[in-house]
């Protein structure tokens, strides 16, 4: 592809005159040189519509065919046109106007194959655009024949990425025709094109349906496994609960009774009987505490009917902070209820 950019610039003219849009089918042109009767041709495809497309932007895939002499095997090539500021993207010197050939790596994926980094040669046509050519042109053409689409992604060492996707439907037919000669208009028949398009579309729909079916089956199996794991966990939890025997429950209850009794004993020691308080008074208080026994809040849950008595109980609880902690940490409760009924 060292013959210059004239043929490629003609592609841009075709776009301007023909009003091509994203996702249009292949546009082909061929001509014969009036001096030596050699043929040249190209087939052009605009990027497929998707999240990567932008209004007013043209990223192009071009297949090129050129005869050096009549009757000789033609030379085939591939070019991808990018409308990106290459200086910004590659962090090059903004003042550079060097249009010499360079190489770069582009992440390339044909159809459902694994994406790989391919080496491309790059020619800058202006500060706003550049063209890339696969270094291994024959390999690119072979892969293009087999795949229904090709995705390419440019990446730099910062954060910028540029992605484009081209529909390759019909590429095998065009490449085969180019390999036989560059007179595309004489080799491509409309019925054959439509038949191949229908076949390719049917294959695409079949692959899509198979993927959808496989994904549904995967989700179904995952859901069955999730339910089974949930059921097993519930059964284990129920079993663990049943294994908590009566002796253990009795020990816990005895420990809790002792714990509450220690708290009530400390509160009673810190209680100051209000003058004139009658005997037999009782109130129920709700106590909020921290793990170390520090009292956070005291509230009367059931009063005695004697305001002074109830207030004295609240003050006694606050003076008892920090409250005793249980020997078994599992018995601790942030909120406890104490029935305060001082002995006469």
223 and 267 both lie in a single domain: no
Q: Which structural domain range is residue 194 located in?
A: 190-237
pLDDT of res. 195: 62
- Burial profile 317-330: b = 16 or more Cβ within 10 angstroms, e = fewer: beebbebbbbeeee
179 and 201 both lie in a single domain: no
At a CB cut-off of 8 Å and minimum separation 6, what does 46 contact? Answer: 15, 20, 21, 22, 23, 24, 58, 59, 60
CA distance 196 to 328: 79
pLDDT of res. 94: 37
pLDDT of res. 344: 58
216 and 141 both lie in a single domain: no
pLDDT of res. 244: 65
327 and 208 both lie in a single domain: no
pLDDT tens per residue, the chain (344 residues)? 344 445 555 555 445 444 455 555 788 888 888 888 888 888 888 888 877 766 556 688 999 888 888 878 889 999 998 876 655 555 443 334 444 558 889 999 999 999 999 999 988 766 677 888 999 999 999 999 999 999 999 876 656 678 889 999 989 989 998 888 886 655 554 445 556 667 888 888 999 999 999 999 999 999 999 999 999 888 888 877 776 667 777 777 888 888 888 998 999 899 998 888 888 889 999 999 999 989 999 999 998 899 999 999 999 999 988 999 988 888 888 999 989 888 75
- Whether residue 31 is contained in a domain is answered as yes
- Whether residue 85 is contained in a domain is answered as yes
Last residue of a domain, one of 188, 203, 227: 188
121 and 162 both lie in a single domain: yes
Give the CATH number of the domain where residue 336 resides. 3.30.1150.10
Last residue of a domain, one of 237, 272, 304: 237
């Amino acid at each position: 592809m060292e013959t210059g950019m004239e043929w490629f610039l003609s592609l841009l003219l075709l776009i301007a005159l023909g009003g091509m849009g994203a996702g249009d089918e292949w546009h082909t042109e061929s001509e014969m040189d009036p001096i030596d009767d050699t043929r040249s041709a190209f087939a052009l495809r605009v990027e497929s519509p998707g999240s990567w497309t932008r209004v007013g932007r043209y990223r192009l895939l071009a297949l090129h065919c050129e005869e050096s002499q009549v009757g000789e095997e033609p030379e085939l090539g591939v070019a991808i046109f990018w409308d990106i500021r290459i200086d910004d993207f590659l962090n090059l010197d903004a003042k550079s106007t060097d249009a010499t050939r360079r190489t770069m790596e582009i992440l390339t994926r044909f159809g459902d194959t694994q994406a790989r980094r391919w080496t491309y040669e790059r020619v800058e046509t202006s500060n706003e655009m550049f063209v890339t050519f696969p270094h291994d042109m024959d390999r690119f053409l072979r892969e293009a024949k087999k795949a229904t689409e090709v995705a390419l992604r440019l990446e730099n060492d910062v954060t910028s990425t540029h992605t484009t996707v081209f529909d390759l439907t019909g590429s095998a037919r065009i490449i085969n025709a180019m390999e036989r000669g560059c007179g595309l208009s004489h080799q491509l028949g409309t019925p054959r094109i439509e038949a191949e398009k229908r076949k390719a579309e049917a294959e695409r729909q079949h692959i899509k349906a198979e993927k959808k079916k496989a994904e549904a089956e995967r989700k179904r199996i995952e859901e069955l496994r999730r339910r089974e794991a949930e059921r097993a966990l519930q059964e284990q939890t129920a079993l663990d609960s049943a294994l908590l025997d009566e002796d253990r429950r009795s020990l816990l209850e005895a420990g809790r009774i002792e714990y509450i009794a220690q708290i009530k004993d400390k509160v009673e020691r810190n209680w100051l009987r209000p003058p004139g308080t009658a005997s037999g008074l009782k109130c129920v208080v709700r106590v909020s505490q921290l793990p170390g026994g520090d009292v956070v809040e005291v509230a009367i849950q059931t009063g005695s009917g004697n305001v002074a008595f109830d207030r004295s109980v609240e003050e006694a609880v606050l003076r008892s902070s920090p409250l005793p902690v249980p020997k078994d940490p599992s018995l601790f409760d942030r909120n406890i209820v104490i029935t305060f009924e001082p002995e006469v």
